[in-house]
Amino acid sequence: MKLKDCYDVVVIGSGAGGGTAAEIFSRYVEKGLSVLVLEGGPFWKKENFNQKERDMSRIYFNRGAIFSKRLNIAVAAGRVVGGSTAVYTGVSFRPPEEVWQKWKKDYGLDFFNADFVQDTLDEIEEMIHVAEPPPSWDNDNNRLFREGCEKLDIPVKRLRLNLKGCQQQGLCNLGCTSGGKQGTLEVQIPLALSRGIELVHNAWVDHITPEEVVFSVKPAWPFTEANVLPEGNYKVKAKNIVLAAGSLHTPPLLLRSQKYLRTSPKNIGRYLTLHPAFNVNAIYPQVIKNDRGFPKTYYSDAFSDSEGYYLETSFYFPGVTAKNIPHMGKSHEEMMKKYRQMMSILLLSHDPARFYNRVKIDRRGNTVLDYRVDEEVQNSLIQGLRRAAAVFLAAGCEEMVFPACQKEKITPADAKNLDKLISKRYLNLIKTPLSSAHPQGGARMGADPKKSVVSPEGKLHNHDNIFIADASLFPTSVKVNPYETVMLLSHYVAKQVVKRAWGG
């Protein structure tokens, strides 16, 4: 491949945001728009996924755990063509109306209205095949979750998923070998490539200036696509630059570029939210084979407003499961022996956007995550843990091991004491860290440049040709699983870029 001297648009990142934007731009390639996508990760195609935790966790930054400075939370994010959509589960939520109304009212995002949300997401959902899964896909994990909730009169809802030809292998988060999961690796990027955009993978962007993107091409890993450019350092001119490196990497990229930019650094990286989560496990007397079948088909938002969390079904492969079970030694090994009798629940807590929660950079320009779990979130986590324990017990579990719990094991005999046993007093996030797969914010979109980083047109404040199109735009947590909202915003920003590239 030979790079052009100058591109109309250079997109950085190929995940939910970058992939969606690239697809929009590709519609104009035939009319002469030149588009380059730079992706820092490898081009790892489904034919070469091997479903082994050992090998496939390389598809994530830092093997799936970017730790906060305080070591209270570990964040997972994809480092590959397709970004986090190559490893996500495909749970598809539209942004709740109360959230986008707030974004409109409090942050001046006037483009939000019911028609915009519906029309754009209808288009996106059709392209990536969002639908409710048939009941035949429910494995025991999902059935037991529903049963437990129903016994407690907790309303459950069916999740929507973006899948086509899913084989229900149950290993979504290690990359889908069938391509059933319709992320940008399978849908938007191949479509955009077929229309003539250019993609350089293993292309890590160090910094940008208003005219240039500076990157280096890293070695290709075995069993990923060969590099299209020789390893080394590059500069490419761009009339428009679209940053879509995700919440954990777009703000650091801006900070590394700070000396070339006219945007105040004050808010860059700030107001980061993580949707902090606990994944908890319980053992049932019978074999329930949850490692196969679709891991997620039900959720409950019954406590979203009152207690600040969602409960979703989930199930993970052995290494991650073992890591999520507190304690160690013989009792831990005994519990793992019952892996095939295990059921899981994911507790996702809504965290408020705080100025002090942020991504920044160290002296070498690497991402540093500084995140505090405030009281409100801790209370919500405790309430959620109690509720998850009650659901497990109602569904007939034998025992469970929980974070923030006074006892090593909870059994049915403890059913009446859950409030006492699971308490903030026993919550130690250093010993049982939270996890996150939904980082949001860090380059807040808003009308007031004093309180935000990006304008409501998606432009970096004080710049006309630098845009952001990823999860870092979110002014606050969207509360639900975020990828559809990322695609919605990216779709909108990409259209603003096209308007500019085409002279309005």
Partner 1 sequence: MKSEKQKIALLSLAEVIIPSLQTRPMVKEKLWENFCYFLGDMDTNSQKKIQLLLFALKILSVLRYGRSYPKMNFSQRERFFLWLLHFPIALIVAGATGLKSLIYVSYYSLDESWENIDYQGPLVQRELQKELQRETK
Ligand X SMILES: Cc1cc2nc3c(=O)[nH]c(=O)nc-3n(C[C@H](O)[C@H](O)[C@H](O)COP(=O)(O)OP(=O)(O)OC[C@H]3O[C@@H](n4cnc5c(N)ncnc54)[C@H](O)[C@@H]3O)c2cc1C
Residues that bind partner 1 (CB under 8 A): 48-55, 57-58, 62-63, 65, 67, 70-71, 169, 171, 177, 222-223, 291, 317-323, 328-330, 332-333, 336-340, 362, 366, 430-433
**Residues whose CB falls within 8 Å of the CB of residue 479, separated by 6 or more in sequence, listed in order:** 96, 99, 304, 310, 350
Contact 284, 394 (CB under 8 A): no
Region of 241-249, 325-333, 401-409, 456-464 interacting with ligand X (CB under 6 A): 241-249
Binding mask 355-394 toward ligand X (x if CB under 6 A, else -) reads ----------------------------------------
Tokens of 409: 């094991």
Nearest CB to partner 1, comparing residues 51 and 216: 51
Map 304-322 to HEC letters: HHHHCEEEEEECCCHHHHH
Q: What is the dihedral of CA 200, 205, 209, 213, to 10 degrees?
A: -10
State residue 26 phi and psi, 5-degree precision: -65, -20
**# residues near ligand X by CB under 6 A:** 41
Please list every residue from 274 through 303 that binds ligand X, using CB under 6 A: none
What DSSP state is assigned to residue 79? -
| Residue 319 near which of ligand X, partner 1, none (CB within 5-8 Å, type-dependent) | partner 1
| Residue 312 near which of partner 1, ligand X, none (CB within 5-8 Å, type-dependent) | none
**Residues whose CB falls within 8 Å of the CB of residue 504, separated by 6 or more in sequence, listed in order:** none
Tokens of 160: 């929507």
- Locate the DSSP E strands across 318-433: 342-349, 358-361, 367-370, 399-401
Tokens of 64: 């799936």
Nearest CB to ligand X, comparing residues 204 and 426: 204
Q: What is the dihedral of CA 67, 295, 382, 474, to 10 degrees?
A: 60
Query: Alpha-carbon distance 422 to 437, whole Å?
Result: 24
| Residue 143 near which of partner 1, ligand X, none (CB within 5-8 Å, type-dependent) | none
Nearest CB to ligand X, comparing residues 245 and 404: 245
SS3 state at 422 = strand
| Residue 328 near which of partner 1, ligand X, none (CB within 5-8 Å, type-dependent) | partner 1
Tokens of 257: 């570029």
Region of 6-14, 185-193, 390-398, 425-433 interacting with ligand X (CB under 6 A): 6-14
Nearest CB to ligand X, comparing residues 432 and 481: 481
| Residue 84 near which of partner 1, ligand X, none (CB within 5-8 Å, type-dependent) | ligand X
Nearest residue (beta carbon) to ligand X: 15
Question: CA 216, 220, 225: angle at the middle one, nearest 5?
Answer: 120
| Residue 399 near which of ligand X, partner 1, none (CB within 5-8 Å, type-dependent) | none
Tokens of 360: 């920044």
User: How distant is the alpha carbon of residue 360 from its chain centre?
Assistant: 19
Q: Which of 324, 316, 319 is nearest to 291 (CA)?
A: 316
With binding defined as CB under 6 A, does residue 90 bind ligand X? yes
| Residue 332 near which of partner 1, ligand X, none (CB within 5-8 Å, type-dependent) | partner 1
Nearest CB to partner 1, comparing residues 36 and 86: 86
Nearest CB to ligand X, comparing residues 35 and 38: 38
Contact 172, 92 (CB under 8 A): no
Contact 344, 290 (CB under 8 A): yes
Q: Which of 383, 315, 23, 318 is nearest to 170 (CA)?
A: 315
Query: Alpha-carbon distance 445 to 10, whole Å?
Result: 20
CB of 498 to partner 1, least distance (A): 37
With binding defined as CB under 6 A, does residue 245 bind ligand X? yes
Nearest CB to partner 1, comparing residues 362 and 419: 362
| Residue 288 near which of partner 1, ligand X, none (CB within 5-8 Å, type-dependent) | none
Contact 21, 493 (CB under 8 A): yes
- In the beta sheet, which residues pair with residue 205? 215
CB of 375 to ligand X, least distance (A): 26
Kindly state the helix (H) or strand (E) to which residue 22 belongs, with its residue range: helix 16-26
| Residue 76 near which of ligand X, partner 1, none (CB within 5-8 Å, type-dependent) | ligand X
Nearest CB to partner 1, comparing residues 118 and 366: 366
Please list every residue from 470 through 489 that binds ligand X, using CB under 6 A: 470-471, 481-483, 486
Please list every residue from 149 through 168 that binds ligand X, using CB under 6 A: none
Region of 33-41, 51-59, 333-341, 396-404 interacting with ligand X (CB under 6 A): 33-41
CB of 118 to ligand X, least distance (A): 18
| Residue 323 near which of partner 1, ligand X, none (CB within 5-8 Å, type-dependent) | partner 1
SS3 state at 192 = helix
With binding defined as CB under 6 A, does residue 76 bind ligand X? yes
The residues binding ligand X (CB under 6 A) are: 12-18, 38-41, 76-80, 83-85, 87-91, 173, 204-205, 244-247, 249, 253, 437-438, 470-471, 481-483, 486
